[in-house]
């Protein structure tokens, strides 16, 4: 059993998904424009295709409660096999997929990408739709990599600001 992560310093960046712990804690990311792509997608999916929504909810519950789910519903991405065209950093190196995972809904042809942090915190970043094959493409994963970079930067800024206030 994992203790709930302390997100108090950067809680404004996150919106809770209704399933929390005891092994993993799932939140969706509020981007710089105060937009939350995953939350909006899930709200719309619940209204228009409740059964498809329930497949995601079931996978979220499995991961939150046990820390795992069947491979076709959730898995971490393989950092050793990035897709052709994956984003590169300022030095020209491919950005690592380490710490990125995906929830999949094969019947709906959609995926929700997330980053994994210490303490069992999973931050849902982006949604990709219209893809049913298993091969990972740069078009599907690059937005999640960009969003993770933004999230980590903003989180770091908030943690530094909090530290400076405490001094």
Q: Quick: pLDDT tens for 59-102.
A: 999 999 999 999 999 999 999 999 999 999 999 999 999 999 99
% of the chain beyond a pLDDT of 70: 96
pLDDT given for residue 4 in this prediction? 87
Mean pLDDT score across all residues of the chain: 93
Strand-pairing partners, residue 111, are 104, 128
Q: Where are the domains of the chain?
A: 19-166
Whether the CB-CB separation of 135 and 120 falls below 8 Å is answered with no
Write down the pTM of the prediction: 0.94
Question: Alpha-carbon distance 30 to 27, whole Å?
Answer: 9
Burial (0-12, 13-18, 19+ Cβ within 10 Å), 136: buried
Q: What is the fold of 19-166?
A: YaeB-like fold (3.30.2310)
Q: Pinpoint the alpha helices (H) of 14-135.
A: 37-48, 50-66
């Amino acid at each position: 059993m994992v203790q709930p992560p302390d997100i108090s310093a950067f809680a404004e960046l996150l919106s809770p998904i209704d399933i929390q712990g005891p092994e993993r804690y799932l939140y969706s990311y509020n981007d710089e424009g105060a937009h939350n792509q995953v939350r909006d997608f899930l709200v719309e999916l619940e209204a228009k295709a409740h059964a498809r929504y329930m497949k995601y909810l079931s996978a979220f519950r499995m991961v939150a409660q046990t820390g795992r789910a069947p491979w076709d519903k959730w898995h971490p991405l393989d950092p050793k096999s990035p897709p052709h065209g994956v984003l590169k950093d300022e030095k020209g190196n491919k950005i690592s997929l380490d710490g990125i995972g995906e929830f999949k809904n094969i019947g709906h042809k959609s995926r929700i990408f997330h980053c994994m942090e210490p303490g069992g915190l999973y931050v849902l970043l982006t949604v990709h739709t219209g893809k049913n094959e298993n091969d990972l493409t740069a078009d599907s994963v690059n937005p999640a990599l960009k969003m993770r970079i933004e999230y980590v930067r903003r989180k770091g800024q908030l943690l530094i600001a909090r530290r400076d206030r405490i001094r």
